[in-house]
Amino acid sequence: MTNARSAPTDDHNPGATRTAYLVLKVAEHSAAAGKKNQNHGGGGYIPVRTLAVLGHEWQIDYTPDGFHIPTGKFDGQRWLKLRLRLLMPFPEVATTECFRFRLGSSTEVPLWPRPALDASGHLGRDGNCFVRCAVVVHHGAASPSGADLQRDLGNLLTTHHGADVTFIVSGEQICAHRCVLGARSLVLRAELSGIASIVVEVSDMDAGTFRALLHFIYTDTLPPQLDDGHENPAMARRLLDAAERYGVERLRAVCEEKACAGVGVGNVAAELVCAERRGYARLRARCVEFLLARPRHFLEVAQAGGCKLLEAKCPWVLTELVTAIAESTLEGNRLRG
């Protein structure tokens, strides 16, 4: 059961603020965990409700026994966590800015470790508890010129008008503009400022990924393969590596989030190795959470050779995982017995 109300504001007034207050009922742990298992394809979160605030549609989810690993140390504790996602802006207010969120992006809010919550006295006799949430949205000034700028720069990229550098990527020629690249990427600025040649070869990257990188650099929007709700974990991972390589931080954050959403039994070991080597903290934490959340996940990954890969590439991570699973099992046995 949820209740929501919004503080009155003028939706058409730039600079207005609206706050939606919700009281969320967090179901009894075992029942909620059962629902979570049915919804584990969505990252282990249980959908609670959607709400509209200042012309944007939001989704609030929760998990009763997620993992929170802020320091990379696996203490085996399960947490009550919420997740807030921006689903879509409504067309009539599409110019409203939402600076901390983009379409499909989300943020997690760890609330309380399960052992502390169980011992806190805040749980009712039925095992339920209630959480009061406040979603605050600031109405920025409308900026229709922003869409024009994105379109015009996108056209500049596709028409090649005035292009002064050509990249050779996997045998394909891709034209671009040094001034735009240098303004958006300090790495590209440094690489291009020190050379007189107008032809630059890019190694260890496919042409599709490089084109997607340029699309974001010019328009500050995701390419069609990843935008509009499309889920393409492989593309997200390749673009994540490209964003890391060229120092495009916001693209890196968006792609890392999408890569987290694509973690599953078939790729979690390889993703964990990559995250460990490249320093993708959020992707690393998601892989660890996936492996520790359900024993069946770890077993299936081991049967598919994932543990051998971890042992060969980063054995310290495998040791931490096994230790965390053992500690969690011992704690569970102690509570039951």
**What are the tens digits of pLDDT across the range 244-267?**
999 999 899 888 888 888 888 989
Q: What is the pLDDT of residue 276?
A: 93
CA dihedral sign of residues 61, 231, 89, 107: positive
Residues 42, 75: contact at Cβ < 8 Å? no
Tell me the angle at which helices 268-278 and 315-336 cross, rounded to the nearest 10 degrees.
120
Q: Which residues, including other chains, have CB under 8 Å from residue 315's CB and lie 6 or more apart?
A: none
Stretch among 78-87, 158-167, 177-186, 295-304 having the lowest mean pLDDT? 78-87
Extract the tokens encoding 42.
């969505």
Q: How confident is the model at residue 76 (pLDDT cuts 50, 70, 90)?
A: low
Per-residue burial over 158-183, b if 16 or more Cβ lie within 10 Å, else e, is: eeeeebebebebeeeebbbbeebbbe
Q: How confident is the model at residue 241 (pLDDT cuts 50, 70, 90)?
A: very high
What is the rounded distance in angstroms from the CA atom of residue 329 to the CA atom of residue 144? Answer: 56
Residues 268, 283: contact at Cβ < 8 Å? no
Better-predicted residue by pLDDT, 81 or 192: 192
Which domains occur in the chain, in start order?
2-138 (2.60.210), 145-257 (3.30.710.10), 263-336 (1.25.40)
What is the rounded distance in angstroms from the CA atom of residue 234 to the CA atom of residue 241? Answer: 11
